[in-house]
C-alpha cells in the first residue's frame, strides 16, 4: 500500500466515523423548541409573558407521546433558522411551512397541520367584493391557479398588500403579483393586522387560520374580513412542520413518532378544533 493510499484509507475511515457519529446524534436531555410567540392562534405570548396557543399545547402533547422532555423558548421569526443552526435551540415550532427553499438549510418533521393562504381586507373597502371568495386553488395546477390570479389582478392593481418578512407569503407576492401590487413587509403579523385595521394598507396575505383569528377579535371584527380565493401547495409549501438541524435523525424519528400518535388518537384534531374551529389534520 502506498503512502497516498494509506492516507486515503485513513481519511475515509475518519470521515465515515464522523458521518456515523453524526447520524447517531443523541437526543438532547431537554429539547428546546423555539416559537415566535406572536402568530396567534398558532403561538402567542400572554400578558404574563408565558407562551400559549395551538403549537404550544400540541408540542407538549407530541413530546409526551415521544417521551421527550421539552421546553419552549421565544425567538423572533427572522432569527429562528439562524438560531437553530447556531444550536441556540433544538427545534422550531412556529407555523413554519415545508418548502424546497427551507429544505436546503433545515430538515423537517412530518407535517402536523395543513392550511391554505389568502387575503384579508377592509370589509368596508373596495376589496371586500374580491371574487372567488373561499374557493381553493392548488398552485400545482398552474392553469387553474393562473385563471384565479388573472380574475383578481385587475382589482388588486395598485393596492398595498402586507406580508410578514421572510415568509412563503412574501415569496408568493414576488412570484405571482410583482408589478400588480405594492408589497409592504412586516416583522410580525400583528403589525400588518394593525395597519390593515387603520387603513394604512389595503390587504394582508397570510395563512387562513391566523387571518380568521384576527377577523374574529372584537377590535378587528368591524374592519377585517377574509376575501377572494385561497391558495395552497407549490411555493406555499407542503404543510406546517417542526424545523430541525440537518442530520438530527434520532430527534426527527422521535418527534415523527409523537406526531403520528397525536394524529392517530385524535388529539391533533381536538386541539385544532379548539384553536382554529377547523380540522387542521394534514391530508396525504
CA 167 – CA 189 distance, rounded (Å): 11
User: To which CATH superfamily is domain 8-114+239-276 assigned?
Assistant: Periplasmic binding protein-like II (3.40.190.10)
At 283 the pLDDT is 75
- Read off the pLDDT of each residue in 93-112 and give the average, rounded to a whole number: 96
pLDDT higher than 80, residue 3: no
- Read off the pLDDT of each residue in 162-173 and give the average, rounded to a whole number: 97
At 284 the pLDDT is 58
- Read off the pLDDT of each residue in 115-140 and give the average, rounded to a whole number: 96
Cell numbers given for 139: 398552485
Helix (H, G, I), strand (E, B) or coil at 27: coil
Q: Share the mean pLDDT of the chain.
A: 91
Comparison of pLDDT for 187 and 114, the residue scoring more: 187
CA angle at residue 138 from 117 to 252, to 5 degrees? 70
What backbone phi and psi angles, to 5 degrees, belong to 83?
A: -65, -40
- Read off the pLDDT of each residue in 178-189 and give the average, rounded to a whole number: 97
- Residue identified by cell 410580525 is 188
Question: Does 117-236 match 8-114+239-276 at the fold level?
Answer: yes
At 4 the pLDDT is 33
pLDDT higher than 70, residue 215: yes
User: To which CATH superfamily is domain 117-236 assigned?
Assistant: Periplasmic binding protein-like II (3.40.190.10)
What residue spans define the domains of the chain? 8-114+239-276, 117-236
- Read off the pLDDT of each residue in 220-225 and give the average, rounded to a whole number: 96
Amino acid at each position: 500500500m502506498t503512502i497516498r493510499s494509506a492516507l486515503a484509507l485513513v481519511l475515509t475511515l475518519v470521515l465515515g466515523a464522523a458521518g456515523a457519529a453524526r447520524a447517531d446524534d443523541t437526543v438532547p436531555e431537554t429539547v428546546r423548541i423555539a416559537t415566535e410567540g406572536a402568530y396567534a392562534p398558532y403561538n402567542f405570548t400572554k400578558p404574563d409573558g408565558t407562551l400559549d396557543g395551538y403549537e404550544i399545547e400540541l408540542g407538549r402533547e407530541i413530546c409526551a407521546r415521544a417521551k421527550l422532555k421539552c421546553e419552549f423558548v421565544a425567538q423572533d421569526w427572522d432569527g429562528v433558522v439562524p438560531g437553530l443552526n447556531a444550536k441556540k435551540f433544538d427545534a422550531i415550532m412556529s407555523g413554519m411551512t415545508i418548502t424546497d427553499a427551507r429544505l436546503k438549510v433545515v430538515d423537517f418533521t412530518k407535517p402536523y397541520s395543513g392550511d391554505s393562504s389568502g387575503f384579508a381586507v377592509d370589509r368596508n373597502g373596495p376589496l371586500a367584493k374580491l371574487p372567488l371568495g373561499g374557493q381553493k386553488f392548488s398552485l400545482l395546477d398552474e392553469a387553474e391557479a393562473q385563471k384565479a390570479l388573472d380574475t383578481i389582478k385587475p382589482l388588486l392593481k395598485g393596492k398595498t398588500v402586507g406580508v410578514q418578512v421572510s415568509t412563503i407569503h412574501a415569496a408568493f407576492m414576488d412570484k405571482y403579483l410583482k408589478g400588480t401590487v405594492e408589497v409592504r413587509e412586516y416583522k410580525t403579523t400583528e403589525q400588518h393586522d394593525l395597519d390593515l385595521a387603520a387603513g394604512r394598507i389595503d390587504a394582508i396575505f397570510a395563512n387562513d387560520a391566523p387571518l380568521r383569528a384576527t377577523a374574529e377579535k372584537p377590535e378587528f371584527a368591524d374592519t377585517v374580513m377574509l376575501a377572494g380565493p385561497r391558495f395552497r401547495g407549490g411555493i406555499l409549501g407542503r404543510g406546517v412542520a417542526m424545523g430541525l438541524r440537518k442530520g438530527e435523525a434520532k430527534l426527527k424519528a422521535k418527534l415523527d413518532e409523537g406526531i403520528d400518535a397525536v394524529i392517530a388518537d385524535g388529539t391533533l384534531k381536538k386541539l385544532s378544533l379548539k384553536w382554529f374551529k377547523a380540522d387542521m389534520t394534514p391530508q396525504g
